[in-house]
Amino acid sequence: MHVEKSSGEYFFNWPEAFQAGVIAAGGKGWNLAKLDRYGFYVPAGGVLAARAYQISIEENNLFEDMAEITRSATVDNIGEKEIDQKLLLIREKIKAGQIPSNIRDEMESSLKSMGLLEEPVAVRSSATAEDSAQASFAGVHDSFLNVTGWENILEAVRDCYASLWTPRAAAYRRKLGLADQDVLPAVVIMKMVEARAAGVAFTCDPQTGREDLFVVNANFGLGESVVSGAIEPDTYYLDASAYYAVPRLKAKKTGAKQGMTMTCAGGGTRFVPNGDMASQQVLPDENIEKLGLLLARVFESLGECEEHQDVEWAFDGHNFVLLQARPVTALPCYTFDALKNKVQIWSNGNYRDALPMVISPLHRRVMKDGIDTIQYTSLSGPGYPIPEGFKFSRLVKGRLYCNVSALQWAYYDCSGMLPRDFNPNWGGHQPGIEIEDADPYKGEIGLERQHRGMKGVSLIMEAAANASGTFAEVAHSVESLIGSGFSQIPDQGFIDKYNELGQIIKAYCEKFTFLSGVGTFPFVMLLQKLAGYLGPETILVINGLMVGGESGITSADHGYRLMEMAQLARQDEAAVQYLTGDNFDPRSWEDHLPENSSFKKEFREFIKGYGHRAVYELDIINPRWEEDPSYLMDIIKSSMATANPNQWKAMQKEKFERAWREVLKKAPPDELTEMRKGIREAQEGAAVREMTKSVLVMALKPYRLIALELGRRFSQRGIIEEQSDIFYCSWPDLVSILEGDWNGDGLRTLVAARKASRREKETLAPPDVVLGKEPIFAEPVVQDSGNYLQGVATAAGKASGIARLISHPGEGNRLQPGDVLVAPSTDPGWTPLFLKACAVVMETGGYLSHGSIVAREFGVPAVVNVPGVMKAIQEGQKIVVDGDEGKVFLQ
């Protein structure tokens, strides 16, 4: 809520403060300017620039006094009489000094034009280093409330300046290693809010470190009683899950609230007893949740879902007004007891398979919470006690990372998996945590781990038995939710749809691990059985046995179907003309192909079965194939001349039979029937595992459809510029508009800022690991003994070819038949490229990641989890991929 005025040199309104930046406006002033810019309700006001302080100090000849304190004051001697006397003296000189007339005149004129000169105002310090992610300066510098009259405003400004030189402030700077001259005070001057209630709120629990909660402290009157700690406030806890449109009130505690801060008629404040109000709840439940929605918007807007926010708020009887927002700077580490006081290891290893990109602002919280539910229930399901509300995932520069310290410990403590076995299965280049006890199954604790392991197997078998029913149930729920579409639904109806969809996603994510485990468990069982007879050759053989199964791996199937359609198109004259024409438009196939085209009929069936999928499909910003089949048509067009599905089938059969001959040589005859059953179950399990992902993508589809409809409406109303801008909004933004709490003013500006932020983040190379806060990039290690790179062998065979470094499936047209596909990671959208490649090499991945499963199914040699491979191999370089030994030879 800003008031425009002519641009000034020393005093800025909120838009000018934003443009001036944090060095001029200070941390508090700049954050308030951002809130105003992005459409939040902040009091009218502005910022006296930090430069005004420097000029005032120079005019009053105080630089030398300050330099003396800088030279003599240390962390150790602040508090001693001599130093404290020097600090007192400089404060008195600042208070007795004069603010230069040109600065005074501009301030007075600006406040008068804003209508604030005769109004009660708050005068608040806004130092250039405060309210940042590195330092909060909470309570270090002084602020003054309910200041009335011009002379009193000037006095309050001088008092803010002087507070820079209290023993508390000087010691704080030295403790943080900040030079005196690097912390300069700007001053915020803004209209006082007639607060019925006020307090502070956090987008996390600052006491425990929990990140699944919002915490609100509240009292009647002004927020000073809460901020200063003078009373025990009400405390409200909200569930911050993205499954709900509005954060839900989870728990509340009515504080003693011994008194409240009120304004005095002539200026200043007073503390008065609360009387009978002390036992009353400050905010009604409905308003607590409205405030929770506002906090979610602040976290999305200022914190970008990465930096938790500490917010000062007031309620004027009609609206919530934001008085301050800053990053939470010291959040306790909320983790397992065994990991406390240890550096947390964060990795993108497994996540890069499906989510290597900077996730869109609209979808990042939904995706993060969904994956956290998957991780949480994979452990809680078998009965392992996880810290309540624990989050395994976080965003780092827009990309999703997993706390693998926690995951490695939990897998070990739940069911006995040792950290050394983690990376080959999970993928990534993270170190293992240290485990003192190498025997996880001894004693009573070991027995508990075995029981949980057996419970996990039971849940997987139950999931296997119910898989088709589960998939059908989710499909039915999604179809019912979509109904005839969303175009006729009133605005508020979308909130119910969002909440209904959230419960569908949550319930499915709770089953996801055990459905996915249907692919893991039989594979591991087969691996163990074969290992007893095949020894070190087991991996090589089992990779061959997984080739060309008949169980219908959905992401492999769509690759097969595309090759079959490429062959079919070659024989369909209309399809040839369409695909090779000068004006080829992949989106217009329905219009350009005749109804009697066999290719058209087949492609229509393909879209019916796989149209919900996409390239990097777990982010709803990416169009589904049923909306834009360009990628598919390009694959078909480029493969039309060479596609030979029968040749593939023959090659797969030969690889399987070669592997089976190895089994026949070494396994006892009476075990062979059981082994064939194990192979079939492993292949069927792999199919269920891939279908589990496909159904998740299908379940996410309504999020995109809702977004597109809201994008259409909001662009027509002028709230956003174009429909696709909706993906740069957040769900809390949209819900606030749908509920009528916000008119969307500022959303266009916020969208532009988020677009710029996403572009910048996409240019940054994502670290493979983050140790605490330190990014670590995996470097390629070329083995001198054989000039090769070592990875994990996941699909049998050897092949040589020209390396094509493909960073995104959209670059797949550079991949020619017989080339080696070298990629950072792969999701199902990459699958068709596997059929053009003679071999696949990936920077991340494990035995059971998507790329490994599909490579085995196709019979394409694959080596995954090769550190730094995108840097070690040059585009066009000849390489040999050994999918038996997990080696990539450089030539």
Which of the 8 DSSP states describes residue 337? G
CATH assignment of the domain containing 861: 3.50.30.10
Give the domain-ending residue among 620, 648, 676. Answer: 648
pLDDT digits (tens, 9 = 90+) for 180-230: 888 899 999 999 999 999 999 999 999 999 999 999 999 999 999 999 999
pTM assigned to the model? 0.92
Mean pLDDT, rounded, for 573-596 = 94
The answer on pLDDT for 62 being more than 50 is: yes
Which residues are 402's β-sheet partners? 347, 393
Which of the 8 DSSP states describes residue 278? G
Which residues are 722's β-sheet partners? none
pLDDT digits (tens, 9 = 90+) for 648-698: 788 888 888 988 999 999 999 999 999 999 988 888 888 898 899 999 999
The more confidently predicted of residues 848 and 96 is 96
Give the position of tokens 């209508």: 115
When pLDDT is cut at 50, 70 and 90, the band that residue 548 belongs to is: low
Is 797 a domain residue?
Answer: yes
Is 591 a domain residue?
Answer: yes
CB-based contact 651:658 (threshold 8 Å)? no
* CA dist., res. 126 & res. 133, Å (int): 15
pLDDT of residue 132: 52
* CA dist., res. 511 & res. 381, Å (int): 9
Give the type of residue at 82.
E
* CA dist., res. 707 & res. 623, Å (int): 12
Q: 396-405, 462-471, 587-596, 784-793 — which is least confidently predicted?
A: 784-793
The answer on pLDDT for 848 being more than 60 is: yes
Mean pLDDT, rounded, for 476-493 = 97
CB-based contact 702:501 (threshold 8 Å)? yes
Is 382 a domain residue?
Answer: no
Mean pLDDT, rounded, for 56-67 = 93
Q: Are residues 32 and 179 in the same domain?
A: yes
Q: Are residues 643 and 791 in the same domain?
A: no
pLDDT of residue 2: 43
Give the domain-ending residue among 648, 674, 709. Answer: 648
- Which residue from 792, 800, 809, 794 is spatially nearest to 858, judged by alpha carbons? 794
The answer on pLDDT for 362 being more than 70 is: yes
Dihedral of alpha carbons 830, 836, 841, 847, sign: positive
- Which residue from 516, 410, 411 is spatially nearest to 460, judged by alpha carbons? 516
Report angle CA 493, 495, 499 to the nearest 5 degrees: 125
pLDDT of residue 826: 87
The more confidently predicted of residues 646 and 748 is 748
pLDDT digits (tens, 9 = 90+) for 763-808: 999 999 999 999 999 888 777 677 899 999 988 889 999 999 999 9
**In the numeric block, which tokens belong to residue 645?**
């599905």
pLDDT of residue 778: 87
- Which residue from 263, 265, 282 is spatially nearest to 122, judged by alpha carbons? 263
The more confidently predicted of residues 845 and 110 is 110
* CA dist., res. 110 & res. 81, Å (int): 42
Give the position of tokens 């095949």: 534
Rounded to 5, what percent of the chain is helix, strand, coil? 50, 15, 35
* CA dist., res. 826 & res. 577, Å (int): 32
Give the type of residue at 192.
M
Phi, psi of 363 (to 5 degrees): -110, -10
* CA dist., res. 502 & res. 496, Å (int): 10
- Which residue from 890, 683, 697, 692 is spatially nearest to 791, judged by alpha carbons? 890
Phi, psi of 459 (to 5 degrees): -65, -35
Is 710 a domain residue?
Answer: no
- Which residue from 255, 259, 277 is spatially nearest to 269, judged by alpha carbons? 259
Report angle CA 459, 464, 465 to the nearest 5 degrees: 100
Following CA atoms 768, 770, 774, 780 in sequence, which dihedral angle do they give, to the nearest 10 degrees? -20
Mean pLDDT, rounded, for 807-835 = 89
**In the numeric block, which tokens belong to residue 345?**
């290891």
Which residues of 492-614 form beta strands (DSSP E)? none
CB-based contact 44:17 (threshold 8 Å)? no
Write down the H helix ranges in 419-442: 422-426
pLDDT of residue 705: 98
Dihedral of alpha carbons 702, 704, 709, 710, sign: positive
- Which residue from 433, 255, 244, 263 is spatially nearest to 338, judged by alpha carbons? 433
Is 438 a domain residue?
Answer: no
* CA dist., res. 133 & res. 526, Å (int): 51
Mean pLDDT, rounded, for 282-303 = 98
pLDDT of residue 851: 85
Please tell me whether residue 429 adopts helix, strand or coil conformation. coil
pLDDT of residue 6: 39
CB-based contact 853:519 (threshold 8 Å)? yes
Sheet of 887-890: strand order equals 782-783, 788-790, 887-890, 878-882, 798-805, 820-823, 839-842, 862-864, 792-795
- Which residue from 465, 398, 838 is spatially nearest to 642, judged by alpha carbons? 838
CB-based contact 806:833 (threshold 8 Å)? yes
Give the CA distances from residue 835 to residues 504, 642, 647, in Å, rounded to whole numbers and listed in that order.
Answer: 35, 11, 11
pLDDT of residue 553: 57
* CA dist., res. 253 & res. 269, Å (int): 27
Q: 456-470, 499-513, 775-789 — which is least confidently predicted?
A: 775-789
Q: How many domains does the chain have?
A: 3
CB-based contact 806:814 (threshold 8 Å)? yes
CB-based contact 277:259 (threshold 8 Å)? no
pLDDT of residue 692: 94
* CA dist., res. 410 & res. 417, Å (int): 9
Please tell me whether residue 88 adopts helix, strand or coil conformation. helix
CB-based contact 805:881 (threshold 8 Å)? no
Give the domain-ending residue among 648, 668, 695. Answer: 648
The answer on pLDDT for 39 being more than 80 is: yes
Containing 475, the helix (H) or strand (E) segment is helix 443-482
Mean pLDDT, rounded, for 391-407 = 97
Q: Which residues are CB-neighbours of 109 under 8 A, at least 6 positions away?
A: none
- What's the whole-number average pLDDT of the chain? 92
CATH assignment of the domain containing 38: 3.30.1490.20
Give the type of residue at 520.
T
* CA dist., res. 228 & res. 139, Å (int): 8
Which residues of 255-334 form beta strands (DSSP E)? 259-263, 269-273, 309-315, 320-327
Q: How large a percentage of the chain has pLDDT more than 70? A: 97
* CA dist., res. 512 & res. 372, Å (int): 11
pLDDT of residue 138: 63
Is 876 a domain residue?
Answer: yes
Please tell me whether residue 400 adopts helix, strand or coil conformation. strand
Exposure letters 552-575 (e unless 16+ CB within 10 A, then b)? ebbbbbbbbbbbbbbbbbbebebb
Q: What is the span of the domain harbouring residue 113?
A: 1-192
**In the numeric block, which tokens belong to residue 851?**
């790329």
Is 515 a domain residue?
Answer: no
* CA dist., res. 165 & res. 187, Å (int): 15
- Which residue from 634, 624, 750 is spatially nearest to 699, judged by alpha carbons? 624
Is 146 a domain residue?
Answer: yes
> Own/partner pairs for 641-644, CB < 8 Å, 24+ apart?
641/570, 642/817, 643/563, 643/564, 643/566, 643/567, 643/570, 644/563, 644/567
Mean pLDDT, rounded, for 278-289 = 97
Compute how many other C-beta atoms are within 10 angstroms of the C-beta atom of residue 11: 25
When pLDDT is cut at 50, 70 and 90, the band that residue 1 belongs to is: very low
- What region does 177 belong to: left with phi over 0, alpha with psi -120 to 50, or beta? left
